[in-house]
Structure 1
């Protein structure tokens, strides 16, 4: 018995390019991640919803976690630009407020917490998170701080990498361990404390010898 011929494509319907398919997969994945959490991101579900070939998705991403990480980055990339106005305090405050505002969106904060947690057991997700998101975000901040250091706006002995950990790391800490609230006021306090320092201008007291 002869198998039936496959249906012909509808007139006027063209084949999508690889870039269009990839964009559709990332957009669909971001929607699933933000609406239903990382457990909703499976190759089967994304392939049906995109729609796209599951074989193509397997070719482009090593795991659903890696796909979820890249989709998240594509979703927030434009929203987290790091502007350079010439005033480093203003730029840090503006960028940190924007970051906190993003984390305070319930679906986004929940997605980030899921991604960070899942990355502990999924090396492909961890690699994708670093390569597609956190490493580039860190580089943008370090470059802006280095520019400010070269312009004499911060001390020469300041390590920009540590400053990134102090500011953005503190926001991640409050997101993942919500003992204290994550708020725009917290973002301002971080910049204030960092800019002013926490040690009072008093004479240094030598440590006491042990009894």
Structure 2
């Protein structure tokens, strides 16, 4: 994950993009170090130097802010490689995802976000819009490139492949609650690709 947010500055007039970036950095840091309960508009306003009015203008709830902050913090580590070797790229991306959840400390926050999204409509919408659907689209784009290059059959069901690969991670994390470190990513990818042929 990226470094801790910079210390709060004075309340002088700052560009909106700078304020938004600072708010997301503070929210992401609190989410990962203290959990979703720490991400409140009061605390974010105090630690980022933004006004609560600004926060309410940009996000409908603190949960929606937490979802966007998680995406902002995780995006650099979850870039999808395209080396031309689909199997290697899937292994690399899933390994990065598992490392984010385990070594990166995102397992607990992501569980909290998904859990809270079941009853917080604003958080659920923000989670889908800012994290889940964009991540899924990146995977779909990589699989479509593999279809164009002939590494994956034209009739392969891309959504099922995505569900198999990332669904296995979420199932272990949220349902079975067993360590993700035990997941054999190479075997998972091999099995999914073999089934797609």
Please identify which structure carries the higher helix content.
2
Matched residue, 2:151: 153
Determine the C-alpha separation between the residues in 1 that align with 2:36 and 2:169. Answer: 21
Scaled by the length of structure 1, the TM-score of the pair is 0.83
Matched residue, 1:110: 108
Unpaired runs of 5+ in structure 1? Answer: 1-9, 199-211
User: 1:179/1:133 Cα in 2 relative to 1: closer, same or farther (>3 Å)?
Assistant: closer
Determine the C-alpha separation between the residues in 2 that align with 1:49 and 1:27. Answer: 10
Please tell me whether residue 119 in structure 1 is matched to residue 120 in structure 2: no
Q: Deviations over 1:130-167 (max 9, x none)?
A: 11111111111001101111211112221111111100
Matched residue, 1:137: 135
Unpaired runs of 5+ in structure 2? Answer: 1-9
Matched residue, 1:203: none
Instruction: Decide which of 57, 70, 73 is 2:71's aligned counterpart.
Output: 73
Matched residue, 2:5: none
CA RMSD of aligned residues (A): 1.8
Scaled by the length of structure 2, the TM-score of the pair is 0.89
Instruction: Decide which of 55, 58, 78 is 1:57's aligned counterpart.
Output: 55
Cα displacement (A) at 1:15: 2.4
Matched residue, 1:82: 80
Matched residue, 2:18: 20
Cα displacement (A) at 1:177: 2.4
Aligned residue pair count:
187
Q: Deviations over 1:101-143 (max 9, x none)?
A: 1111363110000000000001110111111111111111001
Matched residue, 1:39: 37
Larger radius of gyration: 1
Cα displacement (A) at 1:14: 5.3
